[in-house]
Chain A
Amino acid sequence: MAAAAIVILMIGVLSLKLTQLQMFDSATLAGLARSNTIHRVVLEADRGIIYDRHGVPLVQNTPLWNLQVVPADLPKDWRDRATELATLATLTGQPEDHLETSLAVADQFAPVRLGPNLTDGQVLAINERLPALAGASLTHRGVRTYVEPLTFGHVIGYVGPLDDADLKRLRPRGYQPDELVGKVGVEAGLESVLRGTDGWADVEVDARGQIVRTITMQPPVSGQAVYLTIDASLQRATAQALVAGLQRDHKTAGASVVLDPQSGEVLAMVSLPGYDTNLFTHGISQADYNRLVMDPDRPLLNRAIAGQYAPGSTFKMVTATAGLQEGKITPQTMLSCPSYLSYGGWVYHNWASYNLGSMNVAKALAVSCDTFFYQVAAMVGDVTLARYARAFGFGQTKNIELPGVEPGLVPDRIWKQLQCGVPDLNSDACRWTLGDTITFGIGQSALLTTPLNQAVYVAALANGGSVMQPTLVHMVRDASGRVTATQQREVVNHVPASPDNLQAVREGMREEINRPYNMNYWFRAAGVPADGGGKTGTAQWGGSGLDLPTHAWFVFFAPYTQPDVAMSIFVERGELSEVEAAPIGVDIMRFFNGNRGAIHATTPPAPA
């Protein structure tokens, strides 16, 4: 009977354990079984393509191949496993211990990407041996390849891996840690539109990690296509003109913004030096990154929207408008233009060391007489002047579709007090002085602006006083080709100035570019009709005194009646704006005149 009892005992004990496993632990173990066999595969959505206003693609999604390994699916036998790891290391060109570590620390049941980017040769070699490599698969994802990054880079920007701050901010919106996100430029500004919605598939895999069948699937939805207001050919012409101008005068940095003054559409936006945005999408090397960050010319700075500089004489149209509109002068009022004027015991010079005689406001703009505008500024007063400056958009952050837009600065009395640690109404360092007012009147003082602000400002002068909302986006289309957003013309502000007064200011700008032996030379030399209005400015910076470094500006609109283009040209450390900045504008204008119809046309691109 003892033997029979042992048989019964055996059945009993084994049955008890079986009951525990198959009844009480069943749900847990069945869950483990599902995660064994059912893998969720992310189907990556394509990011939206960015086009110019005519449908020319400015970025492409090129497939980048990765070797992907699910650690749990590697061979169970340690010898086979070591052999496979060695093979994978050779195929991807990575050190074996590095590979082993990255697999050891990863989630054992989730795919791990090895080898950030494989060459075509590597892909072929791996593909050939793939059937023998348990748990390994080849995956590709679309990686941004930017077209002519040195020309379009600052506008388009780039995508890069999420940093900790991004992750914190974007995790609630479903971003995955290994996702790429727009970092700067349109890529960042329109991230929510460009980003597609990833799909997924639940696939059944066998123990070798091979997909047996797909159970359920949610297809990915591609990101939306963005059509910029940029005209690719004008952008190229602008960049070439700027590059040529800078080279001519041995300068290294500059920027230009070209607007449609009627709509506020940005037709071209260039900041130099540019940089290769493609470096970032493939994971930039530390050496490359250091080189870009340490470069004294600061290539990563988009000067067009974030470079803040004194406007210098290009500000004189604001002073003129204020003087006219406030009744301090009329278009006919004649004021003197001596070589210097004294205010509060300080002497303020004109650019000319001799007296230019008396002149009206148009002539004063044309010859850019500083002393004329000292007088107007003194008459208008700093408070009113600041109001007009703000009305033209100075010191305002433009709500354009790019991150990192800087406002510039319109100084006033409160601002100056705040500059002092301890406000002191009696110290000239804290107190607004008459000297501040008159230098404010010629675009100096602490006044700062950006090339974008300058373009909006000259566009407002051109279009009769409407400060436009600048925009880079013409239209957005979803993956099915349906237009989901179009840009509406938006006027941010109307400059409180009568048409006649603005006309008088424009007249001065026309005179400036038509003065013989002066800037008109460039127009004639380039065969571009000087039909429009322009203003140069050579702005001092870096403190106060007589021999300060300067930046060169040129703002311009054309044609004179019904203008359809407004632009700002900025040359960092430019010494003579008439010689260094203006010819760049003329170059751009020459291209614009030859392609005017094509640039303004927005041929609606066929649905993708």
Chain B
Amino acid sequence: MRPSLWQKLDHLQPLLTGMLLVLGLMTVYSAHADWLRQIVWVILGAGAYAAMTAFDYRRLPALAPWLYAGMLVLLLAVRLLGHSALGAQRWLSVGGFPLQPSELSKLVLVLVLAAYLSRVERLGWRAFLGALGLGAPVAALILTQPDLGTTIVVVAVLVGMLFLAGARIAQLGSLAVIAVVVLPLLPHLLHGYQRRRLEIFLNPGSDPLGAGYNLLQARIAVGAGGLFGQGWLHGLQGALGFVPERATDFVFAVYAEQFGLLGSVLLLALFGALLTRLLHAAAVAPDRFGALVAGGVFVMIFAQVVENVGMNIGLLPIAGIPLPLISYGGSATVTTLTALGLVQSMMVRRPLLQHRERTTWSGNISVRAQA
């Protein structure tokens, strides 16, 4: 019997996504951000999700070069035409809407790398360097915007996908060597405020009212939440504006103040479940491209959640990055939902055979046999 579309649909993934979106809208509302506009973004994102689900993902590899070229053009356009906010030039105005190409570029990079890496059976040094060659200009353009947070995500996506594509220890080791060489130079490459953020992370009390303010206030808000939280719309720190960037970068602190430890762990569990669904999708993917797309989307969301929550609670240095599905912001919301829609598109187009449901990967995704 041919399985219906409904049966093939990953029901859990949109459910989890929807729950996260609801929590996100509640938090954005409580943070006095423009929540009506965020609803518009969510609706647009849902449309993109549906469109991507309907769209046959297998046509994407052919589009990949065009997407890549378009992305580079957009990033360059930002440098030339974009307007700046908060000391960085990240925004393009598209039909009156501010567009942040670096958000889109994360997903485009996933698709481009998936297309490129799915063509090679074994990841030789040549293919490895080729992938790095695709990623490097993107990372460089975004880093110099400057947007450290997105750069971190881009680099994570690059390394993560190389790993999923079966990079050898030696190859990943060489990346580590490069990192060891480049990292000490980083302070010289970083902008002043980025360097200060790093210093503040290492010693948050050094400047409680200056640059360390964000970190301190975010931690205060999280801590004030306690076990059960202050209750929705009862978070003082967030509502009164002590938490900076309360609807975007520090939205987690605003959430944690209102919903407490229980709410925070629930949020992490929802993200964990969603990420597990993406891993599952990668495992059951009918082809190497699909598996790499699902894996790339996994890395993209994983990196953002870790970095965003980590910086909100003082575990990681501050790098401006939205919390997927929660933070206010059109580009990020639409990008994330588009990515999830693409994974869904792959799910509904997989041949539903029981024995293939078994997850047979260990570490690297073992989908080569199926391809």
Residues 59-79 of chain A, each 1 if its beta carbon lies under 8 Å from chain B, else 0:
000000000000110101010
Q: Is A30's CB under 8 angstroms from B240's CB?
A: no
In the bound assembly, the distance between CA atoms of A389 and B33 in angstroms comes to: 86
CB of B153 closer than 8 Å to a CB of A: no
CB of B198 closer than 8 Å to a CB of A: no
CB of B241 closer than 8 Å to a CB of A: yes
A405 CB to nearest B CB, Å:
51
Chain A residues within an 8 Å CB radius of B279: 3-4, 7
- Residues in B229-271 with C-beta less than 8 Å from chain A: 236-237, 240-242, 244, 256, 260-261, 264-265, 268-269, 271
Which of A14, A23, A33 is B224 in contact with, Cβ under 8 Å?
A33
CB of A13 closer than 8 Å to a CB of B: yes
Which of B220, B268, B275 is A33 in contact with, Cβ under 8 Å?
B220
Q: Is B209's CB under 8 angstroms from A72's CB?
A: yes
Knowing A30-B224, A30-B226, say if A22 contacts B240 (CB, 8 Å).
Answer: no
A398 CB to nearest B CB, Å:
56
Chain A residues within an 8 Å CB radius of B268: 10-11, 14-15, 18
Q: Is B240's CB under 8 angstroms from A212's CB?
A: yes
- A2 (CB) vs chain B CBs: closest residue: B363
In the bound assembly, the distance between CA atoms of A15 and B256 in angstroms comes to: 12
The majority secondary structure among interface residues of chain B is helix
Q: Is B210's CB under 8 angstroms from A78's CB?
A: yes
Knowing A2-B362, A76-B210, say if A21 contacts B219 (CB, 8 Å).
Answer: yes
CB of B221 closer than 8 Å to a CB of A: yes
Q: Is A14's CB under 8 angstroms from B315's CB?
A: yes
- Residues in A100-129 with C-beta less than 8 Å from chain B: 108
Segment among B117-125, B135-143, B302-310 that sits at the interface with chain A = B302-310
Q: Is A37's CB under 8 angstroms from B227's CB?
A: no
Q: Is B315's CB under 8 angstroms from A1's CB?
A: no
A216 CB to nearest B CB, Å:
16
CB of A29 closer than 8 Å to a CB of B: yes
CB of B146 closer than 8 Å to a CB of A: no
Chain B residues within an 8 Å CB radius of A139: none
Chain B residues within an 8 Å CB radius of A23: 226-227, 261
Chain B residues within an 8 Å CB radius of A6: 302
Chain B residues within an 8 Å CB radius of A13: 315
CB of A19 closer than 8 Å to a CB of B: yes
In the bound assembly, the distance between CA atoms of A15 and B271 in angstroms comes to: 13
Residues 304-347 of chain B, each 1 if its beta carbon lies under 8 Å from chain A, else 0:
01100110011100000000000000000000000000000000
Chain A residues within an 8 Å CB radius of B315: 13-14, 17
Chain A residues within an 8 Å CB radius of B204: none
Q: Is B362's CB under 8 angstroms from A1's CB?
A: yes
Q: Is B237's CB under 8 angstroms from A33's CB?
A: yes
Residues 584-600 of chain A, each 1 if its beta carbon lies under 8 Å from chain B, else 0:
00000000000000000
Knowing A22-B260, A76-B210, say if A15 contacts B240 (CB, 8 Å).
Answer: no
CB of B84 closer than 8 Å to a CB of A: no
Which of B208, B261, B314, B362 is A19 in contact with, Cβ under 8 Å?
B261
Q: Is A10's CB under 8 angstroms from B223's CB?
A: no
Which of B224, B225, B237, B276 is A7 in contact with, Cβ under 8 Å?
B276
Chain A residues within an 8 Å CB radius of B102: none
A34 CB to nearest B CB, Å:
8
Q: Is B222's CB under 8 angstroms from A29's CB?
A: yes
Residues 280-303 of chain A, each 1 if its beta carbon lies under 8 Å from chain B, else 0:
000000000000000000000000
**A interface bracket (residues with beta carbon within 8 Å of B):** 35 or more
Q: Is B242's CB under 8 angstroms from A25's CB?
A: no
Please, how many residues of chain B have a CB less than 8 angstroms from a CB on the other chain? 46
CB of A207 closer than 8 Å to a CB of B: yes
- A38 (CB) vs chain B CBs: closest residue: B236
CB of B128 closer than 8 Å to a CB of A: no
Knowing A2-B362, A7-B279, say if A22 contacts B242 (CB, 8 Å).
Answer: no
Residues 379-415 of chain A, each 1 if its beta carbon lies under 8 Å from chain B, else 0:
0000000000000000000000000000000000000
Chain A residues within an 8 Å CB radius of B275: 7
Chain A residues within an 8 Å CB radius of B256: 18, 22
Residues 563-580 of chain A, each 1 if its beta carbon lies under 8 Å from chain B, else 0:
000000000000000000
CB of B298 closer than 8 Å to a CB of A: yes
Q: Is B264's CB under 8 angstroms from A22's CB?
A: yes
Chain B residues within an 8 Å CB radius of A78: 210
- Residues in A356-390 with C-beta less than 8 Å from chain B: none
CB of B214 closer than 8 Å to a CB of A: yes
In the bound assembly, the distance between CA atoms of A99 and B363 in angstroms comes to: 61
Q: Is A10's CB under 8 angstroms from B209's CB?
A: no
- Residues in B64-78 with C-beta less than 8 Å from chain A: none
The majority secondary structure among interface residues of chain A is helix
A77 CB to nearest B CB, Å:
9
CB of B130 closer than 8 Å to a CB of A: no
- Residues in A189-234 with C-beta less than 8 Å from chain B: 204-208, 212
A205 CB to nearest B CB, Å:
7
A9 CB to nearest B CB, Å:
10
CB of A8 closer than 8 Å to a CB of B: yes
In the bound assembly, the distance between CA atoms of A11 and B305 in angstroms comes to: 10
A81 CB to nearest B CB, Å:
8
Chain A residues within an 8 Å CB radius of B223: 21-22, 25-26, 28-30, 32-33
CB of A503 closer than 8 Å to a CB of B: no
CB of A145 closer than 8 Å to a CB of B: no
Chain A residues within an 8 Å CB radius of B264: 15, 18, 22
Q: Is B236's CB under 8 angstroms from A17's CB?
A: no
- B298 (CB) vs chain A CBs: closest residue: A3
Q: Is B240's CB under 8 angstroms from A205's CB?
A: yes
CB of A36 closer than 8 Å to a CB of B: yes
Chain B residues within an 8 Å CB radius of A32: 220, 223-224
Which of A3, A22, A208 is B226 in contact with, Cβ under 8 Å?
A22
Knowing A33-B221, A76-B214, say if A17 contacts B242 (CB, 8 Å).
Answer: no
CB of B41 closer than 8 Å to a CB of A: no
Chain B residues within an 8 Å CB radius of A76: 209-210, 213-214, 244
Chain B residues within an 8 Å CB radius of A204: 236, 240
A4 CB to nearest B CB, Å:
6
Knowing A14-B310, A33-B221, A207-B241, say if A7 contacts B209 (CB, 8 Å).
Answer: no
Chain B residues within an 8 Å CB radius of A72: 209
Q: Is A14's CB under 8 angstroms from B309's CB?
A: yes
- A10 (CB) vs chain B CBs: closest residue: B306
Chain B residues within an 8 Å CB radius of A208: 241
B20 CB to nearest A CB, Å:
14
Chain A residues within an 8 Å CB radius of B227: 22-23, 26
Q: Is B313's CB under 8 angstroms from A14's CB?
A: yes
CB of B272 closer than 8 Å to a CB of A: yes
B303 CB to nearest A CB, Å:
10
B230 CB to nearest A CB, Å:
9
In the bound assembly, the distance between CA atoms of A207 and B254 in angstroms comes to: 14
Q: Is A207's CB under 8 angstroms from B242's CB?
A: yes
Scoring A21, A30, A108, A212 by chain B CB atoms within 10 A of each residue's CB, the highest score goes to: A21
B28 CB to nearest A CB, Å:
18
Residues 69-97 of chain A, each 1 if its beta carbon lies under 8 Å from chain B, else 0:
00110101010000000000000000000
**Nearest 6 CB-CB pairs, A to B?**
A29-B223, A207-B241, A33-B224, A22-B261, A206-B240, A26-B226
10 further contact pairs, Cβ within 8 A, besides A18-B261, A28-B223: A11-B268, A11-B272, A18-B256, A22-B222, A22-B260, A33-B224, A37-B236, A71-B209, A108-B209, A206-B241
The 26 listed contacts between A and B (C-beta, < 8 Å) are A1-B362, A14-B306, A15-B268, A17-B315, A18-B265, A18-B268, A18-B313, A21-B223, A23-B226, A29-B219, A29-B220, A29-B223, A29-B224, A30-B223, A30-B224, A30-B226, A33-B223, A33-B237, A37-B236, A76-B209, A78-B210, A108-B208, A205-B240, A206-B242, A207-B240, A208-B241
